[in-house]
A and B are shown apart, each in its own frame.
Chain A
Amino acid sequence: MKLRGDNALFRRSELLGLLAFATLILVMLPAALDIFRLNLVGKYLTYAFVTIGLVVCWGYAGILSLGQGIFFGLGGYCMAMFLKLEASSVENTKIQSTPGIPDFMDWNQLTALPWFWKPFENLGVTLAAVVLVPTLFAFIIGAAMFKRRVGGVYFAIITQAVALILTILIVGQQGYTGGINGITDLRTLKGWDIRSDGAKLTLYYIECGLLLAAIVATQLVTRSKLGRILVAMRDKEDRVRFSGYSVSSFKIFAFCFAAALAALGGAMFTLQVGFMSPSFVGIVPSIEMVIYTAVGGRSSILGSVCGALLVNFAKTRLSESFPELWLFGLGALFVVVVLSFPEGLAGVYRSSAPRLARSFVAKLRALWRTPMTRSLDHELAE
């Protein structure tokens, strides 16, 4: 009996939530928003990939990574390198002293394409690299740390240090990476202009499809035995170890899974926004991604997606009209959520939704009953 009860992939409420969310992003938002705003939503949704990964890594497995920007950035940079190479064809870069290489390399007196840029001339290799490079990097960090039973705050600090290292490297090695400006002026993907409105709409739908697939995949992980082991590991690591499970392997898996999702988000970010820069790699964006997850709910997939959408939406609106208030708001929001709502919006929803629904139903019943009882009363009176 796989369909009923606890063994089903989705509980009924979760399935309803997912359907509502899919309707929202696939039908309602494209109908309601112009292409500029829709593109903005697409940008916010790229962070949803990261927050879903954090739900598995942080919410389920209890590993707080303050370096998801690393993987988001690596995925984004892999994509950007391909697009940049296509944009700097020999015809487009005739005026440079070395035609055929990206403009920032030419400005930094490079005369040939560096070796690590070469594989990104091929789309297939690039698409594989988008996921594989960050995942491999996460595997190396994870294997080195978890095999030695480094966890908790130490792991968080080390991931933060790695994020800092990567940012300094990207900014410092301007000739190879584009420096502080990042990789900009991306135009076409295999001749298809990604800056046109039609392309933006197509990319938005591709992203929504990927996101829904990612949600289902994550649901598979969390609802399986694997997900339960992750939770058990979070709550009583030693007991899981003594039961014969390799705790480090599960932790590495969770970390790599989160990294792969973040990388996917990063690649979609590059495609949607049209550039990639170190300001999406460093410490601050990495922590902001954790904030989205915390606000939405660290152990709820859909909750974390809503967190990413809502916080980003608020950020855009508030920093447009009250730039001073935004940081106060974000800081206070974070403090309040951590102190009083550790399960985020999803936790609030879970604890109050049944009560609200019940009172709503009760009110409906009352409304429905009142005229009937009245008429009954009348009839009786007559």
Chain B
Amino acid sequence: MLGDYSLSDLGSIFVMQGFAGLILFSVFLLMALGLAIIFGQMGVINMAHGEFMILGAYMTYLTSKLFETYLPALFPGYFFVAMIVAFLAAALLGAMVEWALISRLYKRPLDTMLATWGLSLILQQLYRSIFGAREVGVELPPWMLGSWQITSTIEVPINGMFVMALTAVITAGVALLIYKSRLGRQVRAVVQNRVMAGAVGIDTQKVDRATFALGCGIAGIAGSAFTMVGSTGPTAGQLYIVDSFLVVVFGGAQSLIGTIASAFTISQSRSTLEFFTSGSMAQVATLIGVVVILMLRPQGLFATKVRR
């Protein structure tokens, strides 16, 4: 199979495949970040996480349409507004869901899983009723089209580069927020010992709501970034949910570094395998690998010790 390519061709393929893997890595990481906050910090399984991403994607779509119609002059910059809109919409919905559903189920984690699945069904149908069953795509601003020619055989699409940069910025922001800010300190305190955190005067209920809303907001931004590299349909969220859960669990639920490392491992192995076999078999092989490793090491790659 490899005999047909010259050595430099192989090098180029390797680099391009690596970039494809990096873009997949960014997407995985963006998906998993919100989950890592909600699942890792709060222990809540949000099966509707994919639908929050799709909400962000649809918000981006709406914003792009609005800019196209009313503010064509500012169209090249619409994406930055769209991300803020996506974040706010998803965070607002998240806060409402936390109030209505999650806060009543903290003692029953398995039931949270089921209730949020019900929520995801409702949201899916809502998207289908509002935006139609067909997938919608976003018109990219002109500066994001095209690609960056490195050598005659290697080229990298600019929208992919943009998603990668965005991921880096958001990850850094989340890390700062969790490890340096007041809210982050409170969140970690509540995770480590809820009762004691409450005893020293932290409003655990408020922290929970803020954490959940933040996680959902980041999912919204992830969805917004998705529109750069693919189209959006009402049921697209379901395709990603298992992958993103595996990324978080594989990394070790409480660890941000672990989430980054596992997103990298999973995406790279998948895109490398994709070169050798079909796409579906690459996905199967990666999933099996992750499941087997999780069976051997249930706490994930980077586990932090937490007193329960």
Contacts and interface: CB of A to CB of B under 8 A. Distances in A.
B287 A327 contact: no
Contacts of B246: 157, 161
B interface, size bucket: 35 or more
Nearest to B120: A331
Contacts of B43: 153
B125 A153 contact: no
A169 B295 contact: no
A164 B290 CA distance: 13
B118 A331 contact: yes
A145 B293 CA distance: 11
Contacts of B115: 334-335, 338-339
Interface string B118-132: 111110111011000
B212 interface: no
Contact of B110 (A144, A156, A160, A330): A156
The listed residue with most B CB atoms (<10 A of its CB), out of A160, A331, A339, is: A331
Given A164-B242, A335-B115, A172 B281 contact: yes
A372 interface: no
B88 to A, nearest CB: 24
A91 to B, nearest CB: 35
A335 B43 CA distance: 19
B67 interface: no
A342 B112 CA distance: 11
Interface string A149-168: 11011101110111011001
A158 B105 contact: no
Contact of A168 (B110, B125, B283, B290): B283
Given A148-B298, A161-B242, A324 B109 contact: no
Given A157-B249, A164-B242, A172-B284, A338 B105 contact: yes
Contacts of A333: 118
Interface string A301-329: 00000000000000000000000100110
Secondary structure dominating the interface of B: helix
B45 A153 contact: yes
Interface string B283-294: 110011011001
A284 B278 CA distance: 24
A164 B287 contact: yes
A332 B118 contact: yes
Contacts of B113: 64, 66, 153, 156
B291 A150 contact: no
B280 interface: yes
B110 A64 contact: yes
A133 B288 CA distance: 19
B108 interface: yes
B183 interface: no
Contacts of B295: 144-145, 148, 150, 158
A215 interface: no
Contacts of A156: 45, 110, 113
A101 interface: no
Contacts of B118: 291, 330-335, 338
Contacts of B242: 157, 160-161, 164, 283
Nearest to B283: A168
A104 B115 CA distance: 40
A105 interface: no
B223 to A, nearest CB: 20
Contacts of A283: 238, 242
Interface of A: 64, 66, 144-145, 148-150, 152-154, 156-158, 160-162, 164-165, 168-169, 171-172, 283-284, 287, 290-291, 294, 324, 327-328, 330-335, 338-339, 342
Interface of B: 43, 45, 101, 104-105, 108-111, 113-115, 117-122, 124-126, 128-129, 238, 242, 245-246, 249, 278, 280-281, 283-284, 287-288, 290-291, 294-296, 298
7 contacts: A150-B295, A161-B291, A165-B291, A172-B278, A172-B284, A291-B114, A338-B111
Q: Which 9 A-B pairs have the closest CB atoms?
A: A334-B118, A331-B121, A331-B122, A172-B280, A327-B125, A335-B118, A150-B298, A338-B115, A144-B295
Given A165-B287, A172-B278, A333-B118, 10 more contacts: A148-B296, A152-B110, A154-B294, A287-B117, A328-B125, A330-B118, A331-B121, A331-B125, A338-B118, A339-B115
